[in-house]
Structure 1
Amino acid sequence: MANEESRGAPIRALIVNTDDMASMFADLERLRNSDFARKWHSFPTTKEDIQATLKEIGVDGVEHKQYYITDYETSVPALRDRLPVGADIDEINHLAMRIEVVEKAYGLETFAAVMESGRHCESLTDIINVTENMDCFYLQPSYSAEMYGEFLATMAQDEFGGVIERLEHSPDPDMRELAGYITRLESHFDSAAYGRELVQAENGVFTDSGYLTEINPGEYVDLYSGRHDVEYPVFAYPEREPTARPSVMDKLAAAKEAAEKQGSERTGHPSKSHDAEL
């Protein structure tokens, strides 16, 4: 489970130190306890936060250089199962930033519907491109073919109801007869069959968020083509601890000891420090 600090983030990823995980399998006790270097991390993130997480799990860029994302939690239904394990940190961060942009501009219902539909979701690159093409999707509040057919029939009644009413009150008996014929047809209207026909024609799909269709598919453009298109890279190994510098006194003592040693080697006599020991 992710920790409480990660709640509310578009994406949470479980980052594992793969070198330490490999050593775990050589230690049965650690394997039983699942005690190896891993941590949930929230995205979007910053370079400093990534460095802190990598430092905590022991990915230092020197002895341990490899990490692996093994699991996800997301704020978007169906997205978790679309995200690939072993993904790149910078690309996951880029997607999380794009999701925040989509949420502010459109809300997440349509994006969630696309994720559930499985369209344009074959890879992480595809998913990022969905966030760049939200104007190409349309979501309606219908959840079955029958509901969709009834919805469209109701819209038609609202639009043409006045026409039928005028026909019913027309002084022309033929027009009144036509109105009666239309009314009888309405009573036999098969909304489910009508809905199925339209779904097939529109290449739509029903999701938990509603009825999803693609509009102007010719305008769908792949703007993202890979890691080189990441706008704000955040991955960085932890900064190495600076090596302690010797003090001036340490340097003087070392220089004195070296000089005494060199002098004793030339004369064949022990240095003063050795005389003192004797």
Structure 2
Amino acid sequence: MPLYEYDKDYPFAAFVTNLGKYNEGELVGEWVKFPTTADELRTVFDRIGIGQKDDFGCPYEEWFITDYDCYVDGLYDKLGEYANLDELNYLASKLDNMDKCEYNQFCAAMEVGDHTSSLQDIINLTENLDCYDVYPNIDDHEDLGRYYIEELDMMQVPEHLKDYIDYEAYGRDIAIEEGGNFTEFGYVRDTGDRFYEEYDGNPENIPEEYRVKAYELDEEKLSEADRVDMATDIAYDLDDFFRQHDPQYAAQRPEPQEQKELIADLLLEGKTAVLREMLEQLAEVGDDILPGRISEFELETGYDPTQDNSLLEDRARFYERPEQPDDHLTGERVQTPRGSFSLTDLTKEQMQAAGYGVHHESDDRKYLIMGNGTRAFAVLREPEHEKDNPLKNAEMSMEDDYGMIDGIINNGSREETKEKPSIRERLAEAKRECSERTPPEKAREGRSAPEHNDR
């Protein structure tokens, strides 16, 4: 067993709290040192009221952790209020079984930060300490350079030249090449060994000797049909609420029935965190009923927050991720006076959807340089086609001189043109007029001939 901070004989303790009492305004809990046993934890649950009934006859069945006392460097911030008790006990037992050297390796790896994002990662880290070398008392680049030359004989230096060696520069090059880090426990480097995942994150697969399941509810759970009905009702109301108050949701999910089924599936799978997040984002429009109904469903179906990974895996099922330029690089680069930019085959509109705006263009005007404030890419500028004149077809059918060809639109009023008679019709009309005329009187001398009248 290693010696923990402050000479403690356990790695951490958790203040296990009755959640039902807490929601009623009463803090009822007790400190539990880990590792522990199922019997010890069952006794604690009895003392804090887990399993006892409230004033309405409903049992207090849920607990959470309100605080930790942690004596392992870097571990406190990794432990959450809904951490699984079996996982906590598994980790504490692993730490207790380490010798001093292994424990220092573990603490150094924790400080480096590799494989420390979750309890699952940290448990697996305890099984992969051979992936790290730790050189104690190596605190800076100069120490590292001297250690490699003088202790590891990485370089043969004559005695009379040792005072002329830049150990700091040599140590800096080593750290860069190895990707090493200086920690409170010394210099840490990755050995290059493969990191194996011994624990898959499912508490049911924790070896029985580390499990501390202390309390199982004996009450009758909802039938499968009742669970489906309850989930379906909530899903319909959630989908309607999101469509009314979130334009992005409605635009990206035009099929209500399909989305309602998706929400119901998430509820039945115990993945409610993403639904709660969406409701929190719309909190300004105000809805206190839907979060309560989700809580009621969780209570009725035995929700386990430690198994809810919907924030990581299911958020994209609600909001589509825009195409990203990194996924569509052509391998070419475009040079402009302001720098060299990777070419992507996304369009200008796709780049704008991904949050990029036009910054400048290439000298030949073939490419646009689009950025988002931190990064920039080149996109092919689309050719500017001459816009069709919306009056073209109308003018083609209305005008006889196609005046639009010279750029002038002539759509004014036009005089009515009568149809001209044929030659045959004009000859017939002339004969008719002649037959209707009366013969003229013989003209007298000194008088001019009279004008002809129609009749």
- What TM-score do you get using the length of structure 2 for normalisation? 0.42
Query: In 2, Cα distance between the equivalents of 1:208 and 1:156?
Result: 22
Q: Percent identity?
A: 30
Q: CA deviation at 1:147?
A: 1.4
Quick one: which amino acid aligns to residue 212 of structure 1?
A: V
User: Can you give the 5+ residue segments of structure 2 that lack an aligned partner in the other structure?
Assistant: 1-6, 54-58, 219-455
Q: Provide the rounded CA distance (Å) in 1 between the counterparts of 2:101 and 2:82.
A: 29
- Of 130-139 and 71-80, deviating more is 71-80
Alignment of 1:95-174 (within 5 A): 95-101=91-97, 103-104=98-99, 106-141=101-136, 142-155=138-151, 160=156, 164=158
1:69: how far off? 1.6
Structure 2 letter corresponding to 1:20: K
> Matches of 2:8 and 2:49 in 1, distance apart?
24
Please state whether the residue corresponding to 1:87 is helix, strand or coil.
coil
Name the count of aligned residue pairs: 203
**Secondary structure of 2:99's partner?**
helix
Does residue 234 of the first structure (1) align with residue 212 of the second (2)?
yes
CA contact (8 A) 1:59 1:65 kept: yes
Match of 2:29 in 1: 38
Task: Give the secondary-structure state (helix, strand or coil) at the position aligned to 1:220.
Answer: coil
Higher relative contact order (CA 8 A, sep 6+): 1
Matches within 5 A, 1:5-24: 7-24=8-25
2:191 matches 1:215: yes
**Cα distance per residue 1:221-264 (max 9 Å; x no partner):** 01101112211321222899xxxxxxxxxxxxxxxxxxxxxxxx
| Secondary structure, counterpart of 1:60 in structure 2 | coil
Contact residue 146 and residue 193 of structure 1 kept, 8 A: yes
Contact 1:11 1:43 in 2 (8 A): yes
CA RMSD of aligned residues (A): 2.6
The answer to whether the Cα contact below 8 Å between 1:52 and 1:238 also exists between their aligned partners in 2 is: no
Deviation at 1:11, TM superposition (A): 2.2
Q: Aligned-pair distance for 1:74?
A: 2.7
Indicate the residue corresponding to 1:224 in structure 2: 199
Aligned match of 2:87: 91
- Tell me, in whole angstroms, the C-alpha distance in 1 between the residues paired with 2:52 and 2:94: 28
> How far apart are 1:39 and its partner, in Å?
1.2
Q: Report the Cα distance in structure 1 between the residues aligned to 2:163 and 2:128, rounded to whole angstroms.
A: 41
- 2:67 pairs with one of 68, 71, 77: 71
How far apart, in 2, do the equivalents of 1:110 and 1:201 lie?
Answer: 21
Superimposed CA distance per residue, residues 115-137 of structure 1 (whole angstroms, 9 cap, x where no aligned partner): 11111101110000001111111
Q: Which runs of 4+ in 1 moved over 6 A?
A: none
Q: Alpha-carbon deviations, 1:168-207, whole Å to 9, x = none?
A: xxxxxxxxxxxxxxx34x3332211111111111111111
Separation in structure 1 between the aligned mates of residue 18 and residue 187 of structure 2, nearest angstrom = 42
In 1, Cα distance between the equivalents of 2:27 and 2:123? 31
CA distance in structure 2 between the partners assigned to 1:157 and 1:94 by the alignment: 41
Partner residue in 1 for 2:178: 202
1:26-60, CA deviations, whole angstroms, 9 ceiling, x for partnerless residues? xxxxxxxxx61111101111110000111111112
Q: Which of 1 and 2 has greater Rg?
A: 2
3-state SS of 2:67 partner? strand
Q: Distance in 2 between the 1:20 and 1:154 partners?
A: 63
* CA gap 1:68/1:239 in 2 versus in 1, 3 angstroms: closer
Identify the structure with the greater helix proportion.
1
Contact 1:61 1:238 survives alignment (8 Å): no
Q: Which residue of 2 aligns with 1:261?
A: none
Residues 148 and 154 in structure 2, CA contact (< 8 A), matched pair in contact too: no
2:169 counterpart (164, 175, 193) = 193
**Partner Cα distance (2:154, 2:179) in 1:** 26
Q: TM-score, normalised by structure 1?
A: 0.66
Give the structure 2 partner of residue 60 of structure 1.
Answer: 51
The Cα shift of 1:61 comes to: 6.8
Distance 1:127 1:70, change over 3 A: same
Unaligned runs of at least 5 residues, structure 1: 1-5, 25-34, 166-182, 241-278
